[in-house]
Structure 1
Amino acid sequence: MPGAMSLKAIVTPASDPDLVRMRDTADLQRSSILFGRLPLEIRDMIYAECWKVSGLSQHVFMQHGHLTHSPCVLTTNEVDERLEELQMMVENQGIPRGSRTRTLGVSDKWTSRFSSPWHEHWRCEEEMKAVADTKDTCYGYRRPRRALFLPILLTCKRTYLEARPSLYKSVTLVFTDLPAAHVCLARSPFTTTSQLRSLAFSLVLPFETLHQHRLHLNPSTPAGPWAELCTLLSDLVRFAALRDVTIRLGISSNSAGDVHCMHKSDAPNSGHEAPEVRSWWQVRERWVLSAVRGMLARHLVVQLPSVEPTYRRPEWSRPYNYPEVNGDGNGKGGVVPFRRLERYAVLPPMLFCKDGRVEVHVDSSRSPPPSSSFSITSFTRGPGRSRDTSIAATSDLEDTGKDGKRVTLLRLSETVKVLISSLRPRETC
């Protein structure tokens, strides 16, 4: 099952630099202009400008078995362009709005954007690839653009000791997958992770990984990579300098998905069974975020997909989810246990076929009355006389999925309670 194995043993731990020895052997360079004449406050301002030029938000990801980084070009409150493009494709290709499965013809460029493993940071991925593919005009070979982080840290020992705290204080590390986060945070020396101030995560995980710490109660079973990450972040907040954490969650369309979309191995009508499609309304948000404990919740900003009422979303799932949020980030009807809760518009589940077509799965909106419903009509014939009560019940197990019988029984019990209360004698004036 995906996520059943712990991610703590992906790579060997990195070596911890001997800071004590570096301080003892570092040359003070009192005769230089930088260290001899400029005060520490001015030097910190110089370091901060270097970090700003290189990018204050840096994506950390695995490449060829090693950690590397790339600047984040996503601006604050930027709307995902893929949502608008998908809506335009549906309108231009004349797809009926009421259909749940819509087959679209999508170009290779937008197919890669819809299936990007960097999710809403797909422009950052394209920028990273474009920079890596550019050729140096002087030497004629490919050389990616380098930031100023490593050159400044490698200048000398004193510069390394002074600029390192300023670097981790100013830069926000952005992760779009769990393995890279575990390699960077769990396997790096504590002298490095203890200085981090700000982290951001954009994770699209399988259903089993999100609920693994709640569905497996055996102590010998690993809690899962998601719960391990929350425990690690809680320790960094409690014992280190971490003060700002943003986690954006999504669900993979299939149970074993590596990204938020699925690739259909066979074309439709090939006789193969289509993979299971997962949507966010199936996730129990309170179960998932129960892995967040301790002081981490006070410094955590949670971003969850917004779920519109649909036919497929049963009523019993609402108590397991957080309510909609107001402008201040608090849920309607109660205060959320985090610093702030935000909702964002999410792409619908997609199936990518080999012939270039994309199947978009959209749940119908609940504008008309739902198909699974119970109604009670009471007729009073007069004071002291019995009343006839008729019950009209209709159910559609196809819309409620596997839990359709359970939903029907729950609603039937509620109907019986109302019926019993209506049969009790009333006081007449």
Structure 2
Amino acid sequence: MAATTDPDTLHLSADPQLASPFFTLPAEIRNLIYTEFWHLGPSRQHIVLERVDDKVSSPRPPPRDAVPVERWAHTPCVADPARPDVRFDRFLVTSPVSAARDVWGKRLKSEWCLHWACEERCGPDVVAIARMRAQPPSTMWEEFPAPLPEDEHIEAPSRAPIPKSGFLDLLRVCKRMYLEALPSLYATTTFIFTDTRTAGDFLSLYTGTPALTLRHPIRSVELCLRIPNILTEIYYPPATANPSAGGGGGGDNGRGDDGPPAVFAGRARPGLSMSNNPWQRVCDALAALPQLQDLRVWLDSSDLRPWHKRVSETRFFGRLFDVRVAGGEAAGRFVLGVPELPERRGPDSQALEGQYLEGERLEGAPFVLERGPRPNNWRVHLRNIVGISAMAG
């Protein structure tokens, strides 16, 4: 869905279509028609990257070390984000050695989180690229699970790619219609992202100049992210953090602690910091969208350790305090969904006091905070070990 055609070039070569009855209509009427046309198609779209098949254009096989050519693509969302997340509950009731255990276990580890059904409907190239961009290069991936047989009575959408809906054909009518209809397409579409790199790269395309934001007025964005622990560790409070420091947002408030594990501190990647990482680039891009009207962010962590032990929310979400959505917090159009915190925070809970978005640290927040349950990664890990032992025995 990313526009790769230069609008300035199209303006120079576009035919005014003076003989067309459609273009004799007032501009306001034409824009209403465009908007209604977009509403006929799926308005919630996952933005992804897909490999470009160059076999047709080049009969020679590509070199082994050739980098795959990628292009922006979109696939309709088939998930209902309002439905409860049933993955963990379904996983717990499966037998240790069963196809259902394998399927639900891998859905729990899916980087698409609540949109696991959308992932299973995508083509294999899209899924492979999405996984590669969501994880550190050293991460090894298992093959994606095949759908369960019908007699398993498990929700397992078909893996066949979704057929093209054709709703973008309007942009192919002529150059003038392309130029007129493109802004309304961006204004009526909800752009959904399930990894930070894709979100940051795509949104940054439309935040450079006022002309870009006028031609591509992105108004609705959803992020559904399973954050790798390498990102949350970047924001872990230092041992010298001051727990009594006031303020919310992006302060370095927090109690003293041992800091990140030695393996991370000793092998930190060059250039990776609180101000320079994929998550921060997403936040910067969101803060630069001037026409944003709806923003929903749902987060989980892939860390085996509980969220409350390793995530400094005041530091990790600090940049989101600069994001502005039409209507502000009162309108409830900017929702931040994060894991729930333990009810009791004694010394044995290892809570990061002063590091959570609560109380005075929510003052001035432009978002509505929603806490909810998340899958227990440690229990999933232990059950997988039990399953492997059962298979070996």
**Contact 1:284–1:321 under 8 Å retained in 2:** yes
Task: Pick closer, same or farther for the CA change 1:358–1:23 going to 2, 3 Å.
Answer: farther
Aligned counterpart in structure 2 of residue 160 of structure 1, from 178, 195, 200: 178
Aligned counterpart in structure 1 of residue 91 of structure 2, from 66, 86, 92: 86
**Contact 1:247–1:303 under 8 Å retained in 2:** yes
Counterparts of residues 28-43 of structure 1 (less than 5 Å): 28-36=16-24, 38-43=25-30
State the shift of 1:29 in Å: 2.0
Task: Pick closer, same or farther for the CA change 1:45–1:302 going to 2, 3 Å.
Answer: same
Counterparts of residues 208-227 of structure 1 (less than 5 Å): 208-212=230-234, 222=273, 223=275, 224-227=277-280
Counterparts of residues 24-423 of structure 1 (less than 5 Å): 24-36=12-24, 38-64=25-51, 65-89=70-94, 106-129=100-123, 145-187=163-205, 190=208, 192=212, 195-212=217-234, 222=273, 223=275, 224-236=277-289, 240-253=290-303, 277-282=304-309, 283-296=311-324, 298=328, 300-309=334-343, 314=349, 316-323=351-358, 335=363, 337-349=365-377, 350-351=380-381, 353=384, 357=388
State the shift of 1:168 in Å: 0.7
Residue type matched to 1:111 in 2?
A: G
Counterparts of residues 3-18 of structure 1 (less than 5 Å): 17-18=5-6
Distance 1:221 1:209 in 2: 9
State the shift of 1:169 in Å: 0.6
**Contact 1:301–1:342 under 8 Å retained in 2:** yes
Unaligned runs of 5+ in 2: 52-69, 127-145, 147-159, 239-251, 253-267
State the shift of 1:315 in Å: 6.3
Partner of 1:376: none
Task: Pick closer, same or farther for the CA change 1:126–1:50 going to 2, 3 Å.
Answer: farther
Distance 1:306 1:340 in 2: 14
SS of 2:376 mapped into structure 1: coil
Partner of 2:65: none
Task: Pick closer, same or farther for the CA change 1:88–1:354 going to 2, 3 Å.
Answer: closer
Deviation string for 1:111-156 (max 9, x for gaps)? 33222221111122223359x99xxxxxxxx985113353221221
State the shift of 1:303 in Å: 0.8
Distance 1:290 1:84 in 2: 32
SS of 1:317 mapped into structure 2: coil
State the shift of 1:54 in Å: 2.4
State the shift of 1:227 in Å: 1.6
Distance 1:313 1:252 in 2: 22
RMSD: 3.8
Distance 2:189 2:286 in 1: 17
Identity %: 27
Residue type matched to 1:319 in 2?
A: G
Task: Pick closer, same or farther for the CA change 1:114–1:16 going to 2, 3 Å.
Answer: closer
Distance 1:148 1:252 in 2: 37
**Larger fraction in strand:** 1
**Contact 2:35–2:188 under 8 Å retained in 1:** yes
Unaligned runs of 5+ in 1: 1-13, 94-102, 134-141, 254-276, 324-330, 360-429
Residue type matched to 2:76 in 1?
A: P
Distance 1:322 1:122 in 2: 28
State the shift of 1:357 in Å: 4.9
**Contact 2:335–2:369 under 8 Å retained in 1:** yes
**Contact 1:48–1:170 under 8 Å retained in 2:** yes
TM-score by length of 1: 0.58
Mean CA deviation greater in 284-293 or 79-88:
79-88
Distance 2:92 2:387 in 1: 18
State the shift of 1:342 in Å: 1.0
**Contact 1:61–1:180 under 8 Å retained in 2:** yes
Mean CA deviation greater in 197-206 or 76-85:
76-85
TM-score by length of 2: 0.62
**Structure with larger Rg:** 1
**Contact 2:292–2:324 under 8 Å retained in 1:** no
Task: Pick closer, same or farther for the CA change 1:213–1:309 going to 2, 3 Å.
Answer: closer
Mean CA deviation greater in 111-120 or 169-178:
111-120
Distance 2:81 2:360 in 1: 25
Distance 2:187 2:348 in 1: 43
Distance 1:180 1:343 in 2: 25
